[in-house]
Structure 1
Amino acid sequence: MSNHAELRRLVDKLWSYCDVLRDAGVAAIEYVEQLSFLLFLKMADEREKNPSNPKKVFPPGPDVSWDRLANLSGDALEVEYQRVLRELGKEPTNLGVIFRKAQNRIQEPALLRKLIRDLIGTETWSVGGDLNGDAYEALLQRSASDVKSGAGQYFTPRPLIHAMVEVMRPVPADLIIDPACGTGGFLLSAVEYIERHFGTGMTPDQRENLSSGQLVRGVELVVSTARLATMNLFLHGVGRENGEPVIDVRDALSGVPSTRATLVLANPPFGKKSSITVTDDEGRAEREDVSYSRPDFWVTTTNKQLNFLQHIASLMAVGGRAAVVVPDNVLFEGGVGETIRRRLLKEYDVHTLLRLPTGIFCAGGVKANVLFFDRKRARPEKPWTEKLWVYDFRVGEHFTMKQNPLREEHLADFIASFAAEDRAQREESERFTSFGYEELLARDKVNLDITWLKDPALESADDGVPPEIIAQEIVEDLRAALAEFAAVADALAARAVERNDAERDSV
């Protein structure tokens, strides 16, 4: 059986249980999470029983046995399984990240036993190499398309990730950080790129750093998503069970970075506001907006997207480079948005902008772009941005998640136009053109939401675009417009608060 056929068999087998558990109240993304626990336990058991090279996976202390779980049933199985999850979640390692706050969502012991014995127990997981990792990645992608679960917000389209990594060209000397890593797609793609291009030429130390996770670092706020990212990397050979966590579970915006990245790859959350949930004296839960007042930030704002852009700029080492997915409002929002854009253009080399079409993200209503910029040494006398090259991949492109999904070949022209090997050799084309620094500053509010192409769909009713795609684009445009209106309303509300505060201070 070919690798592709075997991969399909494995994915279909794993996914077949999703429908069974969905009927029992377990969402698709929760199903993948539950699989992660059992997969790890089975892999650890296989490694410890390997006759040629047995390896102790679990640290002294937790009494963990796959055979014991496989031989239990009923309430005894449920109790023992929850005990194992609780004990492993206490470890300060990658193991602890995978099992941190782990809960058994499979409330029917018979279903749990079926997963253990008939699904996980009948496969060999520790010798599958990339096959098992690819199967897990495919499960993540399928679960991300489950709209009701909201899992799509943690999953960036893989063709887009691969294109971003291809033009950024990570090297073994890089420290690659994703401050909002979701399920780990950017980090995994960067590792695969390094292995593909430098595998045979890496030193033993570089190879050890790559496989142990020292070259890649992720930050993720949501515990369950961090475990999926850790497991995704682990199944692809990145990270040690008892090694330092590759994924740091915390709020990336909460403090000044202690480590500087030479390469940042990220798709930060698209939510407009940073907020926390607090409980008042009467037990009511309320959301409070959070402003991050950091000495390394140019402005203080509750806008999560603008805060992530500032954080990434601060996170970069001198000489570092970044590729960041940003929604449209980051390019045109006035007030603090304009201030950030002015500072970024002056102090960084903002060299490329990729305008993305709608219909490529699992989360609907998203109009997004990829912003590419490099950090340079301080140079107050002269701005670092000389030209911003804009590639318009939005106009005239029509995608949907199922009927016409984004594929690798769709971004091939962008990769070629980017000219990663020597950006000085770039050439203008219909979709790729440049704008000088002074030209950008002269635009109203330094608006970088630049377009010059006419959409053929607006010029001709007979352009061959299926009506379902046109309808989907209308829905996406309406959602995006509502999001933009909400961003304006938030900005006006923030200004009103600042004005009231200033009036109170003057009294």
Structure 2
Amino acid sequence: MNPNTAEIVAKLWKECKTLQSAGVSYSNYVNELTYLLFLKMLEETGQENRLPNGHCWSKLAKMEGGDQLEYYKSMLLELGNPKKTKDPVTLAIFTDAMTHLRLPKDLKTLTTNIDKLDWFTAREDGLGDLYEGLLEKTTSATKSKAGQYFTPRALIDSIIRLIKPKPGEVIQDPAAGTGGFLIAADHYIKDETDDLFKLSDAEGHFQRHQAFVGHEWVPDTHRLCVMNMLLHGIENIVGCEDSCAPQGEHLGRADVILTNPPFNKMSGNVNRPDFTLTAGERVGPMPFLEHAIRSLKLHGRCAIVMPDNILFGDGVGTELRRFLMANCNLHTILRLPTGIFYAQGVKTNVMFFSRETKKIMPADHKKQATKEVWFYDLRANMPSFGKTNALTDKHFEEFEKLFGDDPLGASDREEQGEDGRWRKLTREQIAERGDNLDWTWLRDESGDPEDDMTDPDEIAAAIMGHLRAALDEIEALSEELEDAPEPEAAE
């Protein structure tokens, strides 16, 4: 992050500490800043015509006391009302918006401090970087309570370098979060096209308005996603929808799918009419994997973060893996270190695959799209990651070199042997393992990474992660017992 941008982020974040005593949480504070920064940004960029009924930043900022707070509350209601606000981006930002500020002095402090910022420098350095800095502060501050798992930037950037998104491709994230994957793909394409100047006007319009699609079901997170993408020059609005519901079909087919779906099973069951394997299952990682398989175009490529149990689970899990390998070339699995997500103890992987069938084939189809799967173990004998030891691009250097330049996984590859991190299994060998993809061969002598934790937030996050995992196991066992046939009564 540019030093000037970092300074602005620090100034804005300083107010959060003050407002905590007034009952404003970290996440509520970032929502509050989203509303105010959006209004200020429209003034700075001459786009206040997006706002209805003469609403504008200057009118809000010059007001005082209770009048300012009352006007702010009424303005939020109007901007989120589809009968009064027609601009789709403004409506997406302010739908169900409400302020958590209760004291007029707190609102005045925020509007005054936002007005004092060096907006010329902020625009030059990139408003998107400023906003991402605030999001990073929030996720770091609330990680012990986070229901979602935020993907580390180093991992996102590594995946983007391997998948190589191109101009003209439809890039989708069905569980978009704050938009990290879509924004990183946009950065990559802009770097390759001189900030889109190498493209025609029509191609540039496609990139800004149609290339990036997705859903984010949590309303507050969706709001942050829309704002984040807008500040990075992407005007296509991610929907506030559940991709495991019928609306998920509306996302359409994609050239590239990049996603880190929720690891925990969510409330509600999958009711997608096009799903066959995970229909009726609890919303969680498995239905998102089925979505990715079905939604890829022919030779489309996917990188999806999945918890370990997707690699070895029985029943639907086994059928889903067979379904994946029948329709897609699952060419690479990256075993990630523990502790890189905000729920410590969660063990995850990135599955890289490409769609190889024109129409969906059943799991037992004789012709398998997957011939062999390469594994890179970045988990065994790795240090503990956290505040004092961040995951960086350097940790992925060897993996990226071994993966090769072909985003479809077709580069020449050579095994490292039993002592190396890079090995493969043929489709026949996987079948002999009962289609279990949870393969380890290195002896891990690093011990439990959680033993080295000293930060209270990281310890709390680890405890929460283990409790959630235990609850998932209990729920799974309960569901199995409910589904088990009752014994016949003796005559």
- Give the TM-score band, short-chain normalised: 0.7 to 0.9
Q: Secondary structure at the match of 1:25?
A: coil
- The answer to whether the 8 A contact 2:171-2:256 is kept is yes
| Higher alpha-carbon deviation: 183-192 or 330-339 | 330-339
Find the aligned partners of 1:164 and 1:179 in 2 and give their Cα distance: 16
Q: Who is 1:232 aligned against?
A: 228
Q: Secondary structure at the match of 1:373?
A: strand
- The answer to whether the 8 A contact 1:321-1:375 is kept is yes
- Is 1:384 matched up with 2:375? no
Find the aligned partners of 1:477 and 1:87 in 2 and give their Cα distance: 42
- Is 1:326 matched up with 2:299? no
- Is 1:451 matched up with 2:440? yes
Per-residue CA deviation, residues 277-321 of structure 1 (Å, 9 max, x unaligned), is: xxxxxxxxxxxx424353333243225111111122222222211
- Is 1:183 matched up with 2:178? yes
Find the aligned partners of 1:94 and 1:119 in 2 and give their Cα distance: 21
Q: Who is 2:317 aligned against?
A: 337
- Is 1:19 matched up with 2:12? no
2:269 to 290, 315, 320: 290
Percent identical across equivalent pairs? 34
Post-superposition offset of 1:361: 1.0
Post-superposition offset of 1:71: 1.7
- The answer to whether the 8 A contact 1:367-1:480 is kept is no
Find the aligned partners of 2:202 and 2:172 in 1 and give their Cα distance: 19
| Higher alpha-carbon deviation: 155-164 or 66-75 | 66-75
Find the aligned partners of 2:460 and 2:338 in 1 and give their Cα distance: 10
Q: Who is 2:483 aligned against?
A: 498
Q: Who is 1:418 aligned against?
A: 403
Post-superposition offset of 1:457: 2.5
- Is 1:75 matched up with 2:66? yes
- The answer to whether the 8 A contact 1:266-1:324 is kept is yes
Q: Who is 2:422 aligned against?
A: 432
Q: Who is 1:209 aligned against?
A: 206
- The answer to whether the 8 A contact 2:216-2:240 is kept is yes
Q: Secondary structure at the match of 1:495?
A: helix
- Is 1:264 matched up with 2:257? yes
Aligned residues: 468
Q: Who is 1:281 aligned against?
A: none
Per-residue CA deviation, residues 144-189 of structure 1 (Å, 9 max, x unaligned), is: 0123673472521100000111100000121011011111100000
- The answer to whether the 8 A contact 1:359-1:398 is kept is no
Find the aligned partners of 1:474 and 1:124 in 2 and give their Cα distance: 39
Q: Who is 1:57 aligned against?
A: 49
- The answer to whether the 8 A contact 1:144-1:155 is kept is yes
Post-superposition offset of 1:359: 1.4
1:140 to 126, 135, 138: 135
Give the TM-score normalised by the residue count of structure 1: 0.85
Per-residue CA deviation, residues 479-502 of structure 1 (Å, 9 max, x unaligned), is: 766655544443333233334599
- The answer to whether the 8 A contact 2:168-2:207 is kept is no
- The answer to whether the 8 A contact 1:62-1:84 is kept is no
- Is 1:359 matched up with 2:352? no
- The answer to whether the 8 A contact 2:244-2:272 is kept is no
Per-residue CA deviation, residues 337-371 of structure 1 (Å, 9 max, x unaligned), is: 11111111112111110101111112333111111
- The answer to whether the 8 A contact 2:5-2:129 is kept is yes
Find the aligned partners of 1:81 and 1:141 in 2 and give their Cα distance: 27
- The answer to whether the 8 A contact 2:2-2:125 is kept is no
- Is 1:442 matched up with 2:432? yes
Q: Secondary structure at the match of 1:319?
A: strand
Relative distance call for 1:426 and 1:471 in structure 2 (3 A) is farther
Find the aligned partners of 1:150 and 1:466 in 2 and give their Cα distance: 18
What is the letter of the counterpart of residue 49 of structure 2? V
Find the aligned partners of 1:163 and 1:89 in 2 and give their Cα distance: 37
| Higher alpha-carbon deviation: 469-478 or 114-123 | 469-478
Relative distance call for 1:327 and 1:476 in structure 2 (3 A) is farther
| 1:107-122 alignment runs, 5 A limit | 107-122=102-117
Relative distance call for 1:307 and 1:420 in structure 2 (3 A) is same
Relative distance call for 1:486 and 1:152 in structure 2 (3 A) is closer
| Higher alpha-carbon deviation: 319-328 or 361-370 | 361-370
Find the aligned partners of 2:41 and 2:460 in 1 and give their Cα distance: 44
Post-superposition offset of 1:191: 0.0
- The answer to whether the 8 A contact 1:75-1:109 is kept is yes
- The answer to whether the 8 A contact 2:143-2:342 is kept is no
Give the TM-score normalised by the residue count of structure 2: 0.88
Instruction: Name stretches of at least 5 consecutive residues in structure 2 with no aligned partner.
Output: none
What is the letter of the counterpart of residue 390 of structure 2? P
Q: Secondary structure at the match of 1:247?
A: coil
Aligned alpha-carbon RMSD (Å):
2.8
What is the letter of the counterpart of residue 231 of structure 2? L
Q: Secondary structure at the match of 1:20?
A: helix
2:36 to 28, 35, 38: 38
Per-residue CA deviation, residues 245-280 of structure 1 (Å, 9 max, x unaligned), is: 5210011110151311110000001112x31xxxxx
Relative distance call for 1:122 and 1:291 in structure 2 (3 A) is closer
What is the letter of the counterpart of residue 393 of structure 1? L
Relative distance call for 1:137 and 1:315 in structure 2 (3 A) is same
